Amino acid sequence: MREVASRQELRDVLQSWQQAGQKVALVPTMGNLHAGHLALVTEARELADRVVATIYVNPTQFGVGEDLDNYPRTPESDRTDLRQSGCDLLFAPDEDTVYPRGLDDAFKLAAPPGLTSILEGKSRPGHFDGVVTVVARLFCLVNPDVAIFGEKDYQQLLIIRSMVEDMGFDIHIHGVETVREGSGLALSSRNNYLDSQQHAAAWNLFAVLQETAELGAVAGADFRSLEQQAEERLKAHGLAPEYVAIRRARDLKKPRAGDKALRILAAARCGTTRLIDNLELNRACNHDD
């Protein structure tokens, strides 16, 4: 695995691959890698001739009071894991490389409010503006044929797909199913913040989503009641829910009669650690919910 940090070094490597007619996959990360990230690299190997992983903790997607300064950074183990997973190139830029004009003078994107004013966007104002800003920059620098993202951040996945379509990027966005612990807890870098007692409680987020998805698949289910009941069950397990929502999978709008592909999404705090998760919920809606 090669490692580069500058724009010019990145261009030199990519140019040689492009001249050889090789297809390139991009796996953007913020480091502190776990099995979920490495599953993206493995999937990328199936979809392209060359795999580029990026490690960059992007400041523009962190809000006031969020954990930018304390975000876990594990560069040595990240390099080892990427190398063993078959990554061809690690692009690990510094802030001046990603934002050469500085953060204050940088050109930034604003994601449309229809997808950013709800759920994660409502809980984390400005977060998705930072996401699309940095992802668009990485797309321009790497110019991949395909980019790989995890379904755990489902709203982010939809927003990036919308950005690619709207801005005309010739990039296929490929989603990969959430990787979980044996308990069902979705793998996340923030799981490192959980102590043993909190870790034992955190898996209940997945358990409650599973139960709610099963109940929601029943004809005539009242989605609003199921969301409220799920929040109460999370509280009973010692979690502090921010939202539980059953939405259309394609655009996260509230389901209407005839909608079949749905998603149940949730965010909850376990101690001071914020957890998110989602599950597929497929059914035929016979009423407006």
- Superfamily the domain 189-282 falls into: Pantoate-beta-alanine ligase, C-terminal domain (3.30.1300.10)
Does residue 34 carry a catalytic annotation? no
The pLDDT of residue 36 is above 90? yes
* pLDDT higher than 90, residue 58: yes
pLDDT at 220: 84
- Is 2-176's fold the same as 189-282's? no
Q: For residue range 126-149, what is the model confidence (pLDDT) as tens digits? A: 999 999 999 999 999 999 999 999
Confidence label for 289 from pLDDT (cuts 50, 70 and 90): very low
Q: What are the residue boundaries of the structural domains of the chain, listed by start?
A: 2-176, 189-282
Query: What is the mean pLDDT of the segment spanning 190-214?
Result: 95
pLDDT reading at 284 higher than 60: no
Catalytic residue among 37, 127, 174, 199: 37
Q: 2-176 domain in CATH 3.40.50.620?
A: yes
Res 218: pLDDT: 86
pTM score: 0.94
Give the C-alpha separation, 95 to 98, whole Å. 5
